[in-house]
């Protein structure tokens, strides 16, 4: 699997940093990122975060504008820009994100029986545009409506490999690429005390979505996403629990948009997309220490599986992951942290970097 050895350094440019917490002054934070992987070589880039509140009411959640760009020594590229806006009193939320990624990823085939020996590497140019709005029905309960557009073009693949066989939907080596447009409508419950590093509350979302050729999508299928998280305390530790289900039904689904396990936020220790199929379940738990001079640590473990049929999930192979992580508080007021996680899976190991807690 991809082995990453990274350094996340932060240089902070803050406006109003010396103001009392009761003064919601805008802040700008610059976070340079340097890392290395065997596949991409050195990677270098930066994140710029702009945080502010739409109201002087401390209960109004912080809005943010952010941008990220990373280049590599082997000419790969990743960037995104995002706006996450909360109205006064949290009655409405609007989030928009545009992302482009052209990085190498592994592909092992479909299902839990895909062997490690089937590993091959591919790279796609993927542009994603995601916009959604949430409107409060009551405090902490929201109606969610959104749309997502994903444009993918397979650019690099291994000759004689699985993807070159044209067996998998969306794998068109040298082709013009595909576009998937999805409309989503669902319910979100969010009572977390903090969006990036919660210590109490619940986050849950049930989001059915539909990709249809009637709205211009190259593929037509239905999707259901369920994400439940709970936060609390055990002595001086913060506990975080999460259950996720992602499933598709109907027509064919592009291979790179199938439900999967293996990511930097769940099933850490497995490469992204190590196991893929039409249904995926993951569950994880994390213990977070108190921060001492801005530094903290976490321990985590999880389990997950994928299956072609929902009714067969309980009979599939289940995969375990576990690991430890380091946290450094970048912005104490907002509890924004930089994280480095070391995860172990079945026959695999991974190091993940990020801003904010994994979940």
Predicted local confidence at residue 39, as pLDDT = 65
More confident residue, 64 or 41: 64
What is the extent of the structural domain holding 80? 4-355
* Lowest-pLDDT choice from 69-78, 219-228, 242-251: 69-78
Predicted local confidence at residue 5, as pLDDT = 37
Predicted local confidence at residue 4, as pLDDT = 38
Separation CA 326–CA 288 (nearest Å): 10
The mean per-residue pLDDT over the stretch 88-108 comes to 94
The mean per-residue pLDDT over the stretch 7-34 comes to 54
Specify whether the CB–CB gap between 52 and 28 falls below 8 A.
no
Nearest residue to 127 via CA among 163, 80, 172: 80
CATH number at residue 28: 2.40.160.50
Confidence of residue 18 (pLDDT cuts 50, 70, 90): very low
Separation CA 253–CA 169 (nearest Å): 6
Reply yes or no on whether the pLDDT at 12 is more than 70. Answer: no
The mean per-residue pLDDT over the stretch 120-142 comes to 95
Predicted local confidence at residue 38, as pLDDT = 63
Confidence of residue 190 (pLDDT cuts 50, 70, 90): very high
Reply yes or no on whether the pLDDT at 176 is more than 50. Answer: yes
pLDDT tens track for 231-240: 999 999 999 9
For residue 50, the tally of other CB atoms under 10 A from its CB is 15
Predicted local confidence at residue 198, as pLDDT = 93
Predicted local confidence at residue 258, as pLDDT = 96
Write down the mean pLDDT value for the chain: 88
pLDDT tens track for 309-356: 988 887 778 999 999 999 999 878 778 888 999 999 988 888 888 888
The mean per-residue pLDDT over the stretch 262-276 comes to 90
Q: What is the pairing mode between strands 27-37 and 4-8?
A: antiparallel
List Cα–Cα distances, 77 to 45, 72, 193, in angstroms. Answer: 10, 7, 35
Confidence of residue 20 (pLDDT cuts 50, 70, 90): very low
Contacts of 164 by beta carbon, 8 Å cutoff, 6+ apart: 157, 158, 171, 173
Separation CA 272–CA 280 (nearest Å): 13
Confidence of residue 248 (pLDDT cuts 50, 70, 90): very high
Tokens describing residue 168: 């998998």
pTM over 0.75: yes
The mean per-residue pLDDT over the stretch 224-231 comes to 98
Reply yes or no on whether the pLDDT at 251 is more than 60. Answer: yes
Helix, strand and coil percent figures for the chain, each rounded to 5: 5, 60, 35
Cα 65 to chain centroid, rounded: 17
Predicted local confidence at residue 180, as pLDDT = 97
Specify whether the CB–CB gap between 92 and 323 falls below 8 A.
no
Predicted local confidence at residue 1, as pLDDT = 41
Q: What domain count does the chain have?
A: 1
């Amino acid at each position: 699997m991809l082995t990453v050895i990274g350094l996340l350094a932060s240089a902070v440019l803050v406006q109003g940093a010396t103001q009392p917490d009761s003064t919601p002054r805008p802040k700008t934070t610059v976070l340079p990122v340097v890392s290395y992987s065997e596949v991409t070589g050195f990677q270098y880039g930066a994140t710029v975060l702009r945080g502010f509140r739409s109201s002087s009411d401390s209960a109004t959640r912080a809005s943010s504008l952010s941008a990220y760009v990373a280049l590599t020594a082997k000419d790969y590229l990743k960037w995104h820009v995002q706006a996450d806006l909360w109205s006064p009193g949290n009655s409405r939320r609007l989030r928009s994100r545009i992302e482009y990624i052209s990085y190498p990823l592994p592909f092992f085939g479909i299902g839990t029986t895909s062997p490690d020996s089937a590993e091959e590497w591919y790279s796609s140019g993927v542009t994603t545009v995601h916009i959604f709005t949430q409107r409060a029905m009551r405090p902490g309960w929201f109606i969610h409506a959104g749309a997502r557009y994903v444009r993918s073009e397979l650019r690099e693949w291994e000759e004689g490999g699985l993807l070159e066989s044209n067996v998998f939907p969306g794998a068109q080596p040298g082709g013009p690429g595909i576009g998937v447009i999805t409309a989503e409508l669902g319910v979100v419950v969010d009572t977390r005390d903090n969006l990036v590093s919660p210590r109490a509350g619940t986050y849950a979302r049930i989001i059915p979505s539909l990709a249809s050729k009637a709205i211009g999508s190259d593929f037509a299928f239905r999707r259901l996403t369920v994400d439940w998280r709970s936060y609390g305390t055990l002595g001086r530790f913060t506990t975080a629990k999460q259950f996720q289900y992602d499933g598709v039904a109907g027509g064919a689904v592009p291979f790179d948009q199938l439900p999967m396990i293996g990511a930097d936020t769940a099933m850490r220790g497995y490469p992204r997309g190590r196991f893929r199929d039409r249904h995926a379940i993951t569950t994880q738990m994390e213990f977070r220490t108190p921060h001492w001079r801005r530094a903290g640590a976490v321990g985590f473990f999880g389990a997950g599986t994928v299956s072609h049929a929902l009714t067969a999930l309980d009979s599939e192979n289940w995969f375990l992951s576990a690991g430890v992580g380091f946290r450094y508080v970048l912005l104490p007021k907002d509890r924004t942290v930089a994280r480095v996680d070391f995860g172990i899976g079945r026959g695999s190991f991974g190091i993940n970097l990020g801003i904010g807690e994994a979940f």
